[in-house]
A and B are shown apart, each in its own frame.
Chain A
């Protein structure tokens, strides 16, 4: 039986919930307001659709000068499994680079507060382009956040103004003909150091397109209980070593530990399914020595 108190209480709770959500929403908007937004984070083009686009938005209260340039940089790694992206503007030798034949328009713009600008890309690939995927980085540079320090008008004063310049480097992929995404597991090195289990997963892309997927890593104790889980977005263009670290301070003397790896092209939320080239799954497990 619904009482008077219950009838009145339900909407009031909802009202409070709504107020909380509204505050959270405006906090989010306030947060986003400070910078230049770029979307999407990967641009796809192909031989049938040689144009692409990104949207640059200025949600801040001041005009922003934005420049667009093409660069090159793939996720690579060192021998310890640290992953980097080294941007190259010149001296690019990778035959898969599309940097020289994809052009952005416009390259420079002044975005008024709240304005949105579409930047288009046009590909003019060589005629004898071999089937596969070709890559470039789109670097979006914006300048903002100048200090509000007064200029040194008084005699003898020294002031500094540091311009904070932001660059966002997003991937552009051009696809020609048939593409295959395939990943090869070269090996897994697992070791225990004090209170850590370190694993280095050695991978190579053997298809003519990049392998994009998810890497799921699990650590089990001697009783086969899961004591650690890590998940990564994975993109392999040529070769890549990926380090995974599990702290085991809370599980000392519960070894020997075993490491389980599962790599799958499924589960990516940042790339629409129509753009994913489905590659192979990889499953592997090893006992940590």
Chain B
């Protein structure tokens, strides 16, 4: 019985050592990947002959476009900012930093040849700012930013969330006329972001 126990014990030590070795190796690889990914705060580090400068970053991206899909002549199409088809912008940067958000919104979308255009409008409640950075307009929790606000005038108190991410959800409305020309209409939505504290 004692012999059996001893055998099992030795095997466990070997297994443990291998796991430790594996863990060390993978953690080293993981650390290197993080350095390559490099999105952190400014800090110069020098060890021996290896140096690395980590720079503060700011990333603004459109995670999802505001998608009205096909619409019909004379039928207004509205998308709320908490709808799955809402536009989603994602801002990634220094956690809790104050940011200025400005959105330039079109008054109409037009055919590529300019032969016709269609009214698009954004109401004073068509945007939400989600500082939890969930990225899903349908699951934004109350109290995690600013809900149903004016996309023409974002609050000055906007910040990048504590997790380093803020999402902006945008709804809107298109109003095709009864004799709207069929075709693909395009327009630009321009989001500008700047830190207010540097």
Report A's interface with B, CB cutoff 8 A: 4, 7-8, 10-12, 14-15, 18, 21-22, 25, 28-29, 31-32, 34-42, 55, 60, 73, 75, 77, 82-85, 87, 137, 139, 142, 144-147, 149, 151-152, 155-171, 212, 231-235, 243, 245, 269-272
Contacts and interface: CB of A to CB of B under 8 A. Distances in A.
Contact of B58 (A38, A83, A158): A38
Interface in B146-198: 155-157, 165, 174, 176, 180-198
Contact of B100 (A34, A35, A84): A84
Interface of B: 5, 8-9, 12-13, 15-16, 19-20, 22-23, 26-27, 30, 33-34, 37-39, 41-44, 55-73, 87, 89-90, 92-94, 96-98, 100, 102, 106, 109, 118, 120, 135, 155-157, 165, 174, 176, 180-198
Contacts of A145: 61-65
Contacts of A55: 55
A82 B194 contact: no
B184 to A, nearest CB: 5
Contact of B65 (A8, A25, A162, A243): A162
14 contacts: A4-B9, A10-B16, A11-B15, A11-B16, A32-B37, A38-B57, A40-B56, A41-B195, A87-B192, A145-B61, A157-B70, A168-B59, A235-B197, A272-B43
Given A37-B39, A160-B185, A31 B165 contact: yes
Contacts of A87: 102, 192, 194
Given A35-B92, A37-B59, A271-B42, 8 more contacts: A4-B5, A15-B22, A38-B58, A87-B194, A147-B67, A157-B182, A162-B189, A235-B197
A169 B181 CA distance: 38
Given A29-B37, A41-B198, A272-B44, A160 B61 contact: no
B90 to A, nearest CB: 6
B188 A163 contact: yes
> Taking each of B13, B156, B198, which has the highest tally of chain A beta carbons within 10 Å of its own beta carbon?
B198
B65 A11 contact: no
Contacts of B174: 160
A63 B133 CA distance: 25
Given A38-B58, A158-B73, A169-B193, A31 B186 contact: no
Contact of A271 (B34, B70, B198): B198
Nearest to A137: B194
B71 to A, nearest CB: 5
A233 B198 contact: yes
A15 B23 contact: yes
A214 B58 CA distance: 19
A171 B90 contact: no
Contacts of A4: 5, 8-9, 12
B57 A163 contact: no
Contacts of A7: 9, 12-13, 16
Contacts of B190: 165-167
A53 to B, nearest CB: 11
> Taking each of A42, A87, A164, which has the highest tally of chain B beta carbons within 10 Å of its own beta carbon?
A164
A21 B174 CA distance: 44
A164 B87 contact: yes
